[in-house]
Structure 1
Amino acid sequence: MRVKRRCGCSRQKFLIFLVVFAISFVTVVNIYHEEIYKLQKEYKRNMDAEMDVDSWIRQKYSHCDGHFTAYGQQFAELHDVIILPNDKSFYIPCKDIESLKYTFDFGKEGTHLNNWMEKIQPLKKEEMPSMETSVKKKIMVAVQRYEYANLYHTMTDWYNVFLVTQLLHIDVDNIEVLLFDNSTKGHMDDTWNTLFGEAFKVPLLKKPVIVERLVWNILGYESPVNYHGLQNLPYVESFHNFFLRKHGITDLKNLHCDSLSIFFLWRRDYIAHPNNPGGEISRKIINEDKLIESVKKQFPKAKVFGDNLDHLTFQEQVKIIANTDVLISMHGAGLSHIFSLPSHASVLELFPLYWMKYPVMNHFEAMARWRGLKYSSWQNLNPSNEVAHWYTYVPPSVLVQHILDLYEQMCADR
């Protein structure tokens, strides 16, 4: 009897399929590697629970005889830097500038630090144009702002400046800031001076500047503050204490459960920057007075008040927040004031129907967690609570119950 031999065609087809698949996969990865990396970065920002910022110092790259040193793909330190007016280059003494190669970490927003790398040029002091110069003896931190009128993004920049001083063991009271963006004057510009001495805007320079030690700040979008999955934020209480001290607040508020300070941070229409000439904003509350009345009725001995803060100086804003036990606000950048709250405080964050609290919308829940504060949120799910011009009706009884729950958590052991 004749035995038929099994055909290897199926195996050959399968091997061909694997080869084609592998080639296609590698091709796609090569073409879209940046997009894939950006997706991975977004995942890390929301899911990574730990970040070892101290390891950045150990991941050290030095070149140009120590005139350029980068750390952990996050920030860099340059020595004997020359910055010329109307020139976006960084001039440093370097014999082998061509071999200076380094890449900084980035997300979907990109990073100006890689662009700055391309602008490093060799130049010695004696080769400078014969012009009057300004020599900066203090350590300078170079900052590129992206959203100068937004408190949340500005807070990431402030925190980053503080963080690099801690990692490099620099006295934060002995630095100055170089702002490299070309933004118009904003309502938080003066706070840069309050926190870090005089802030200089590079586009306004009239003469060459020699900086003996210049630190490129961590990109705002890459700030640990922007990694909301972290269980702990490095140096958070040190930053909190520094922030209050710089605003003249040294007496920290104690919790008195029989006389709470309950503050509503209102969102109201205002012109924050030239790109919003109409001044209309979203996530506003239509029944502010009724909420104040209801909370006062429930807590007759408490100080219950509200304000939109935008008409106050930043120092006045910080003073109010530093003396608040319960902070209530619609989701918005103003909640970045969480960094100024007392360590016993609690936060109630409100969301309208059109601004759902998705897992990635946890900026301020993360801030509260890092500070060890009590946190609660309310999400409107009733369409009839939404009113024209971005107003939301917040049910007073629901809000009062949230505050009662926070009160129980704060005062359970008192």
Structure 2
Amino acid sequence: MLALARPPKLWLFTFIVLGSFYVIHYGNQSFDLSFGNVGRLPPFNSPTSNSKPPSTTSGKYQAYPSDDASLEIASTSVTATSFPSDYLPSQSDDSECEALYSSRYLEYIASHHVPYCESGSHSKMECFRTHRNESLCIAMGVSINPQATEPESKIGMQCQLRNFTLEAKSSSKAAAQLHDVLNVEDMPIGFFETGVKEQLKLWEISKRNVKTAKYTEGCTSAKNDGTWTLLVKRENHGNLFHKLMELWQAMITLDALQMAIDPSTQKPYLLPSEVPQIQVVFVQEQETGLVDELDEWWNMVTGQKPLLQRDLAPTCLGKVILPLEGSTSPFWWAHWEEKDCHDRFLLDAFLRRVYRHLNITATKHGNETDKTIVTVIDRRDRRRIRDLEALVEKSRSRWPAATFQIIDFASISLREQIDLVRNTDVLVGMTGAGLTHVLWLPEESSLAEIQAPNKRMPEAQPSTEFRNLAKMRGLHYLMAHPERREGANPWDWQTGEWVDVKDDVFQALVDAAINAQLHRGLSRGEVVPII
């Protein structure tokens, strides 16, 4: 830790470095520089001459722990005139970008929650919301019997749900306090019928004893098996991007619960030491379980292998978490709209966790003395680029100093895909799940995206999620369009076996992407005519 401070009465400026966590204090103002953030934070407590350096837990929320095992402390004096005000960081992202991608996303969830069961209910349920009014909940005293048959429910709790609409009408104070608080039936539904509302539809929620199993009729928030459970209703969609967003939002859910304070205990709803105790459970009857490599990544959410609900024994669960569904991810936002967001607070934390899980040491650049490596994604089912081999062969002849490789990602493992992309300078591919690998490209690499047919303005808005991700990660982003399909519906962009890309368009796209690599890292080069 590095702390710069004057004696108490003259103290004006403190700069704290904690691994990847940076905060500047200037007078009574604080600015968050974490992972490229430029955001204002609540002020820390001013140190005294006998005090310890400021702690990362001094504010309302606990900061991400430092990656360093220990931190040395050094201090020196500075004068107010040594740091002119023009050097103060300014906010670079707009308010919506900050709300979605900075620490404010987690802070909002952690500070916006209300009880959903009426006073006197034997079970409890606290629901939290994002600034876009998407919900996650934690229920206490939940009976479960996966073997139950109708008319009995498999899951239930003794809770009389509050009617916030009626409560808000009781007084102006209640209306203000319950502003934006949704009744369960008004909560939004996620992709493929996911989300808290869809999960609770299958529960018996009643103030009376529930019928999941007679021997669990006494299941209450005070009388239960004391376990933690994360009940996940997945989309069961094979798309890599969809599956990653579900996994990511489950992590976000647990992060927010570790930050939120339970008013009844004045402690976080979830302690870090309790996370490894949480059992992830997939709830749907049609769940196939862990069928591919990405499914196994769920192990990194709590460290435990997920179970299927149908395999559980009847019991009274202690605390049940219903997470944010995948479609609530901030990275689904602006799917069809260009944005210029740069705050990487959420993104860097996720990448750090993935690399730790895979035992990957992330490096900023490859060896700049090596050839530029161009990886072209070869699709084998839909939206295949016609004559791709010939197009790439011409690019190879135009760039003899570069290495070109055409790869069918479906033919190699997910880990091999990530390792391949981590050693790629230019990634070329059609809009689709394969471009999710923009997450792993080294900084300053190039992403060359070929949009789907008939997705050109003003006829139809091109997909923008990979563009927005590339810009956030500091990559070079290039885009080209294939030939238009006459008579095709622009919203049927995922269909069709072949896509036609003009030779000069493909070559211009690759040329621009490779030229963008001339000064990657320590490289140096110049633009020259291509013969």
> CA shift at 1:188, angstroms?
5.0
Report 1 or 2 for greater relative contact order, CA contacts < 8 Å, sequence distance ≥ 6.
1
Following the alignment from structure 2 to structure 1, what is the Cα–Cα distance between the partners of residues 482 and 430?
11
Higher alpha-carbon deviation: 170-179 or 284-293: 170-179
Could you tell me whether the CA contact under 8 Å between 1:194 and 1:247 is conserved in 2?
no
Alignment of 1:168-247 (within 5 A): 168-169=257-258, 171=272, 175-181=278-284, 182-184=286-288, 186-187=291-292, 190-196=295-301, 197-202=304-309, 204-208=310-314, 211-228=317-334, 231=341, 232=343, 235-247=346-358
TM-superposition CA deviations, 1:151-204 (whole Å, max 9, x none):
1211210111121222223657665422123244654564344533312122x3
> CA shift at 1:80, angstroms?
4.3
> How many residues are matched?
347
Could you tell me whether the CA contact under 8 Å between 1:80 and 1:210 is conserved in 2?
yes
Alignment of 1:383-394 (within 5 A): 390-394=497-501
TM-superposition CA deviations, 1:340-380 (whole Å, max 9, x none):
22233221111243454743621211222232322111112
TM-superposition CA deviations, 1:197-237 (whole Å, max 9, x none):
312122x3252255443321112222212102562565111
AA paired with 2:282?
A: L
TM-score (norm 1): 0.71
Following the alignment from structure 2 to structure 1, what is the Cα–Cα distance between the partners of residues 392 and 229?
46
> CA shift at 1:383, angstroms?
5.6
Q: Is it true that 1:266 corresponds to 2:266 in the alignment?
A: no
Following the alignment from structure 1 to structure 2, what is the Cα–Cα distance between the partners of residues 222 and 360?
21
Q: Is it true that 1:97 corresponds to 2:202 in the alignment?
A: no
Following the alignment from structure 2 to structure 1, what is the Cα–Cα distance between the partners of residues 481 and 277?
44
Following the alignment from structure 1 to structure 2, what is the Cα–Cα distance between the partners of residues 173 and 184?
24
> CA shift at 1:239, angstroms?
0.7
**Judging changes above 3 Å, is the alpha-carbon distance between structure 1 residues 405 and 218 closer, same or farther for their aligned structure 2 residues?**
same
Could you tell me whether the CA contact under 8 Å between 2:355 and 2:361 is conserved in 1?
yes
Q: Is it true that 1:403 corresponds to 2:510 in the alignment?
A: yes
**Judging changes above 3 Å, is the alpha-carbon distance between structure 1 residues 173 and 374 closer, same or farther for their aligned structure 2 residues?**
farther
Could you tell me whether the CA contact under 8 Å between 1:151 and 1:336 is conserved in 2?
yes
Could you tell me whether the CA contact under 8 Å between 1:192 and 1:199 is conserved in 2?
no
> CA shift at 1:318, angstroms?
1.9
**Judging changes above 3 Å, is the alpha-carbon distance between structure 1 residues 381 and 343 closer, same or farther for their aligned structure 2 residues?**
same
- Paired position in structure 2 for 1:59: 112
Following the alignment from structure 1 to structure 2, what is the Cα–Cα distance between the partners of residues 345 and 205?
45
SS in 1 for 2:410: coil
TM-superposition CA deviations, 1:60-91 (whole Å, max 9, x none):
11245883211114211223433221456544
Following the alignment from structure 1 to structure 2, what is the Cα–Cα distance between the partners of residues 145 and 193?
12
- Paired position in structure 2 for 1:69: 126
Alignment of 1:361-400 (within 5 A): 361-381=463-483, 390-400=497-507
AA paired with 1:321?
A: V
AA paired with 1:391?
A: W
Following the alignment from structure 1 to structure 2, what is the Cα–Cα distance between the partners of residues 315 and 209?
38
Could you tell me whether the CA contact under 8 Å between 1:329 and 1:350 is conserved in 2?
yes
**Judging changes above 3 Å, is the alpha-carbon distance between structure 1 residues 393 and 289 closer, same or farther for their aligned structure 2 residues?**
same
SS in 1 for 2:349: helix
RMSD: 3.6
SS in 1 for 2:409: coil
- Paired position in structure 1 for 2:10: none
- Paired position in structure 1 for 2:221: none
Following the alignment from structure 1 to structure 2, what is the Cα–Cα distance between the partners of residues 370 and 67?
40
- Paired position in structure 2 for 1:320: 420
Could you tell me whether the CA contact under 8 Å between 1:143 and 1:177 is conserved in 2?
yes
Following the alignment from structure 2 to structure 1, what is the Cα–Cα distance between the partners of residues 136 and 450?
36
TM-superposition CA deviations, 1:129-163 (whole Å, max 9, x none):
89xxx9685x4332212242111211210111121
- Paired position in structure 2 for 1:349: 449
**Judging changes above 3 Å, is the alpha-carbon distance between structure 1 residues 262 and 391 closer, same or farther for their aligned structure 2 residues?**
same
SS in 2 for 1:310: helix
TM-score (norm 2): 0.57
SS in 2 for 1:75: strand
Alignment of 1:284-295 (within 5 A): 284-295=384-395
Percent identical residues? 17
- Paired position in structure 2 for 1:128: 216
Following the alignment from structure 2 to structure 1, what is the Cα–Cα distance between the partners of residues 122 and 483?
61
Following the alignment from structure 2 to structure 1, what is the Cα–Cα distance between the partners of residues 225 and 239?
32
> CA shift at 1:128, angstroms?
2.3
Could you tell me whether the CA contact under 8 Å between 1:141 and 1:215 is conserved in 2?
yes
Could you tell me whether the CA contact under 8 Å between 2:229 and 2:319 is conserved in 1?
yes
- Paired position in structure 2 for 1:164: 253
Following the alignment from structure 1 to structure 2, what is the Cα–Cα distance between the partners of residues 214 and 295?
55
Q: Is it true that 1:412 corresponds to 2:519 in the alignment?
A: yes
**Judging changes above 3 Å, is the alpha-carbon distance between structure 1 residues 206 and 79 closer, same or farther for their aligned structure 2 residues?**
closer
AA paired with 2:234?
A: R
Q: Which runs of 5+ in 2 are unaligned?
A: 1-94, 165-182, 219-223, 259-269, 489-494, 524-531
1:106 equivalent among 188, 199, 213? 188
AA paired with 1:292?
A: V
Following the alignment from structure 2 to structure 1, what is the Cα–Cα distance between the partners of residues 400 and 308?
49
SS in 2 for 1:97: coil
Could you tell me whether the CA contact under 8 Å between 1:107 and 1:222 is conserved in 2?
no
Could you tell me whether the CA contact under 8 Å between 1:48 and 1:227 is conserved in 2?
no
Following the alignment from structure 1 to structure 2, what is the Cα–Cα distance between the partners of residues 241 and 297?
38
**Judging changes above 3 Å, is the alpha-carbon distance between structure 1 residues 206 and 178 closer, same or farther for their aligned structure 2 residues?**
closer
**Judging changes above 3 Å, is the alpha-carbon distance between structure 1 residues 307 and 112 closer, same or farther for their aligned structure 2 residues?**
same
- Paired position in structure 2 for 1:145: 234
